[in-house]
């Protein structure tokens, strides 16, 4: 009886230790929550509607996916960068809550970008960016790009063709994009919230299975 009691006490202590020490579960990344097929499909339809380059970034300003980018950008031409400077300009505001529902940024060469925060559980976890467009009546003159001509990556012959690819938005078109971009960001936020809830449930179930297997292994 004394041997059995001692063994039972050992088993009880073993189970208590394992219950208090939860196994590690995979951390949930923003890319798990936002980079989903349904979100990409929404952004793609938005691009089809307005023909303006669009992208989604995570909370750290890392690009998750994009569509419609144009090569005509000083940041792309000179630095062979992956992101237009107008998008870098607007993504710097990701941690800051805007007074309005969006941010606006214009680079030195006249390219514009709009940033719509993606809010999940009252936290900004990313941003929808609509970018690389000119405002109607604010198309820069070719002389505005004269500093590019000294760059080895600049091809002056194709410059006018590249310039013609940049969308030019009239005031009413810009208003529509701001309205629909705000709505799209809200839809992405809703989908992201549902994805987050799914991953939390999945990880909780995984933790329980890992814990059960760990205790079962020790008891065996």
Confidence of residue 172 (pLDDT cuts 50, 70, 90): very high
Residue 152 has pLDDT above 60, yes or no: no
Task: Say if residue 162's pLDDT is above 80.
Answer: no
Mean pLDDT, to the nearest integer, of 22-28?
Answer: 53
User: Pairing between strand 168-169 and 123-135?
Assistant: parallel
CA–CA separation, 132 and 165 (whole Å): 10
Count of residues in the chain: 220
Residue pLDDT, tens place only, 130-151: 999 999 998 887 677 766 655 5
In this prediction, residue 218 carries a pLDDT of 65
Average pLDDT, the chain: 79
Question: Which sign, positive or negative, has the C-alpha torsion 88, 94, 98, 102?
Answer: positive
Reported as a pLDDT band with limits 50, 70 and 90, residue 23 is very low
Angstrom CA distances, 102 to 12, 18, 52, 66, stand at 56, 48, 16, 18
Q: Is the pLDDT of residue 25 over 50?
A: no
pLDDT at 104: 94
Between 85 and 184, the more confident residue is 184
- Output the pTM of the full model: 0.74
Instruction: Round to whole Å and give the CA distance between 116 and 123.
Output: 13
> Does position 56 have pLDDT exceeding 90, yes or no?
yes
CA distance 121 to 106: 30
pLDDT digits (tens, 9 = 90+) for 61-104: 889 989 998 877 766 666 666 778 888 889 988 888 877 889 99
Q: Which pLDDT band holds residue 52 (cuts at 50, 70, 90)? A: very high
């Amino acid at each position: 009886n004394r041997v059995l009691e001692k063994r039972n006490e050992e088993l009880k202590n073993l189970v208590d230790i394992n219950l208090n020490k939860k196994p590690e579960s995979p951390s949930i990344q923003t890319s798990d929550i936002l980079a989903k097929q349904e979100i990409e499909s929404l952004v793609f339809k938005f691009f089809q509607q307005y023909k303006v380059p669009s992208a989604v970034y995570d909370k750290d300003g890392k690009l998750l996916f994009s569509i419609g980018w144009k090569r005509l950008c000083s940041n792309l031409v000179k630095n062979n960068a992956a992101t237009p400077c107008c998008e870098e300009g607007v993504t710097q505001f990701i941690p800051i809550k805007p007074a309005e529902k969006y941010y606006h940024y214009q680079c030195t060469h006249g390219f514009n970008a709009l940033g719509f925060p993606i809010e999940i559980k009252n936290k900004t976890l990313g941003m929808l960016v609509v970018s690389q467009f000119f405002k109607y009546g604010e198309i820069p003159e070719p002389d505005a790009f004269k500093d590019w001509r000294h760059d080895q990556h600049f091809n002056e012959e194709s410059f006018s063709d590249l310039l013609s690819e940049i969308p030019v938005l009239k005031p009413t078109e810009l208003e529509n994009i701001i309205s629909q971009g705000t709505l799209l960001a809200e839809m992405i936020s809703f989908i992201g919230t549902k994805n987050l809830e799914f991953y939390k449930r999945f990880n909780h179930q995984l933790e329980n299975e890992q814990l059960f297997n760990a205790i079962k292994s020790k008891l065996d």
